[in-house]
Chain A
């Protein structure tokens, strides 16, 4: 009997630092995250508390006057609440109905519809707002023009109202509600309902007494999360609200910053207040979801009971089609329709049709460079982001290094701050930074990595947590050091999640608006803010053209990337 693998004598391993590489990587990446998040946050807070001369930096006097000054804008706060609440309710209704249809009934084509539900997110709320503006403006909207042709009076819908804004927000920013509610529905143990039915309860009664109450905590969690997101929404209110003098906090901040002299301090105070509310919401969300006592989410994936709804399923199919029509088909078609006209109307005369908009768009140097920048930035953000956020996810959820709980809060911090507001802080923070990143694409890269931390870490963590700890522990017991284990066990298992995160980050950076709009420089234009600038500075037809071009480019990039990754994933591991 041989005795191999003697343990290293304890005397040679100093106490407290045997995990050298692990600690270095862990703390290194934590330091990066902390700098990315806290450095701008400090400047934001500083600006909010600055009651001295706005032109002098650093601030001369500190106080709370800016916050008390917020009470001069009660209408804006009310508007924000109205729109966010309405949007949340609508998003929940859409999400619940669609989740129920796609997870619990035997509607044909369920799988396809589920995947299509993600499309409105990729289309971006900006595009949705542009399209719906073209559709629903009281005077010039296509729908209203058709209405008048059919003999109606004045207008059928007015998209520039709070409910119009909420409608578009819910359609394009509310798909997360669907994802969350569908997840809850899918993880419900069907035996709970079967027990009810065996005892003689009708299907409706089962739904009301058993299903609904079990789903409530998940729906509540989704409601809180969605509400927090809607509070920080910017693009839709910018396009649809501004023309009608309807301000919410984010657009008000944007306007205040644009004026001369700028009301930076008030804007910063608004931003910090908004952040405070969102933070409370997200804190509540954690409580509700984590601390819930209804045990439906058992960690096992159940196959939920799919109800046979008979002929009703064709009506439900119609509902699904209608939703996708409103959220995807109609907006895209509208933009296409507008882009081929000189002055967009519902019933154009032949001489109104033109391809000039496309010619102009493609010849505009700004557009070409903006598209190129966006693609390059998307690629870099996604690649660097996946590594950074992968390590952070490991640090927070898998390592046992002390302080990892604190890092989780830091990483999730940007979730509670509207991008526009955070960009403020970033503007001040990185302008004084000794290395000249200001005005370059590097600044945008830093900004994107910062604001996407919650998104990336959450996505990767979701996959990481599904990997049993014992797989890593076993590698340890086989004698593998941390770096070796990461390379041979953790990363290969994570690969699907890493690829998904890469794609998500790529899309997110191309569609990013709130931070980019403040941080763009002359050499660092990107596409989505350019579309907004076009909306405010050129014709709506040209803007529609730009939006279409952006969508097309993103779609092509996505197709290419998905095809590539599928090829990579299909290769057998040796």
Chain B
């Protein structure tokens, strides 16, 4: 018996959106469960921001359906399009969109004033919200006098002060410097958990997505490449694009050798007539199978390793020092692979070494 699934809070169904003749979103579907953070991740131009804005009501799709709490707010079939201000959502913009002519207090209070709350209630809620983002002291300041990070916090306070059930985030951290970004990531995550708000988050930053999300939707060219938890996306990429986008991966092509299959492993014969063992993870082996191995999963050792499967002698062509780790460029027969190793003694170019790959780290990609 299936465990009882909570009804999804946001449902996007077959969404299509074109700007004139240029398609930006070409059929995107996903669900966001109550209280979870779902991140739309992808390179620029993949349609993630457009999708978010369509959910918000700031863009008009050309086809598909969007439901919030089961109620359609957009439906091309039923000709429904609820305006943004009536959808009851909330949003944090990439540029923060802080109103320069108002004080911090009034910025945050705006949504409450729209909902015609009384002055005491407003003061209380705004104070509480500012506390949560540690901006209480700035309450009376002119909004235009704040730094980027401070504006970011005010934007956040403003977004959740009226207790929306859904928060939309449009790359909110991309304008901050690296250190601030890393800190804010954690804060945002904590806040979201504390308030239990359902979040739909858009970013192009891989680390951010992996750190903050409950689930990730990887998008490319207006379509969904893969949906899953961060771990799934990372460990079990479904396509070459996802494999390479989520962390660096080596892609190895070959020929299926079903005659060499052993246990539940799959054998792929490369063009150099090397046999590499991997796992199918439920995917069917196509005519031209491709396996993906993360760079961190190539184990390099100077001595012959103990394993017997997936062991080869290889030659190091180049070592690139990167501080916490080093990148080794390996010649494996005619193929070039990249291995990421923890900081070690530098290996001279041309040195012969041994490479071991755990078969379960060799992931069969889905057929194109």
Contacts and interface: CB of A to CB of B under 8 A. Distances in A.
Contacts of A19: 83
B304 interface: no
B73 to A, nearest CB: 6
Interface in B195-217: 195-196
A19 B81 CA distance: 11
Interface in B173-232: 195-196
Contacts of A475: 99, 110
A39 B80 CA distance: 38
A470 B195 contact: no
Contacts of B72: 10
A492 interface: yes
B85 interface: yes
B93 A470 contact: yes
Contacts of A476: 57-58, 83-85
A473 B101 contact: no
B41 interface: no
Given A18-B82, A478-B114, A4 B162 contact: yes
Contacts of B83: 13, 18-19, 476
B111 A1 contact: no
Contacts of B80: 10, 13, 15
B73 A7 contact: yes
B87 A7 contact: yes
Interface in B290-334: none
Given A6-B165, A476-B84, A478-B90, 19 more contacts: A3-B165, A4-B164, A5-B164, A7-B68, A8-B82, A8-B86, A10-B80, A13-B82, A13-B83, A15-B78, A15-B79, A15-B80, A18-B83, A476-B83, A477-B84, A479-B115, A481-B85, A573-B101, A574-B106
Interface string A1-44: 11111111110010110110000000000000000000000000
B101 A474 contact: no
Interface residues of A, number: 35
Contacts of A470: 93-95, 97
Contacts of B60: 400
Interface of A: 1-10, 13, 15-16, 18-19, 400, 468, 470-471, 473-481, 484, 488-489, 492-493, 573-574
B135 interface: no
B56 interface: yes
A371 to B, nearest CB: 37
B88 interface: yes
Contacts of B95: 468, 470
A9 B71 CA distance: 7
B75 A479 contact: no
Interface of B: 35, 56-58, 60, 68-69, 71-73, 75, 78-91, 93-95, 97, 99-103, 106, 110-111, 114-115, 158-159, 162-165, 168, 195-196
B97 A10 contact: no
B116 to A, nearest CB: 10
Pick the most buried of A7, A15, A468, A478: most chain B CB atoms within 10 A of its CB: A478
A2 B58 CA distance: 25
Contacts of A5: 88, 115, 162-165
Contacts of A3: 163, 165
Across the A-B interface, give the 7 residue pairs with the lowest CB-CB distance, nearest first: A478-B111, A5-B88, A474-B97, A470-B97, A15-B79, A477-B91, A1-B196
Contacts of B87: 7
A4 to B, nearest CB: 5
A527 to B, nearest CB: 38
Contacts of B73: 7, 10
A473 B114 contact: no
Contact of A477 (B68, B85, B100): B85
Contacts of A400: 60
B82 A488 contact: no
B110 A478 contact: yes
Contacts of A6: 69, 88, 165
Nearest to B72: A10
B114 A484 contact: yes
A481 B82 CA distance: 12
Pick the most buried of A9, A477, A489: most chain B CB atoms within 10 A of its CB: A477
A492 B101 contact: yes
Contacts of B57: 476
Contacts of B93: 470, 473-474
22 contacts: A1-B196, A4-B162, A4-B164, A5-B88, A7-B68, A8-B88, A10-B75, A13-B83, A15-B78, A15-B79, A18-B82, A470-B94, A471-B97, A474-B91, A476-B58, A476-B83, A476-B84, A476-B85, A477-B84, A477-B89, A478-B110, A478-B158
A16 B79 contact: yes
B134 to A, nearest CB: 21
A474 B86 CA distance: 13
B160 to A, nearest CB: 11
A8 B90 CA distance: 15
A10 B67 CA distance: 10
Contacts of A16: 79, 81
Given A478-B110, A479-B114, A468 B97 contact: yes
Contacts of B89: 7, 477
Nearest to B35: A1
Given A1-B196, A15-B79, A477-B56, A7 B71 contact: yes
Contacts of B115: 5, 479
Contact of B110 (A2, A480, A492): A480
B20 to A, nearest CB: 12
Contact of B85 (A10, A480, A573): A480
B110 A488 contact: yes
B226 to A, nearest CB: 29
A15 B111 contact: no
Contact of B86 (A7, A15, A468, A493): A7
Given A10-B72, A15-B79, A477 B90 contact: yes
Nearest to B57: A476
B56 A10 contact: no
Contacts of A488: 110
Nearest to B87: A7
Contacts of A480: 85, 110, 114
A7 B82 contact: yes
A260 B163 CA distance: 77
A473 B84 contact: yes
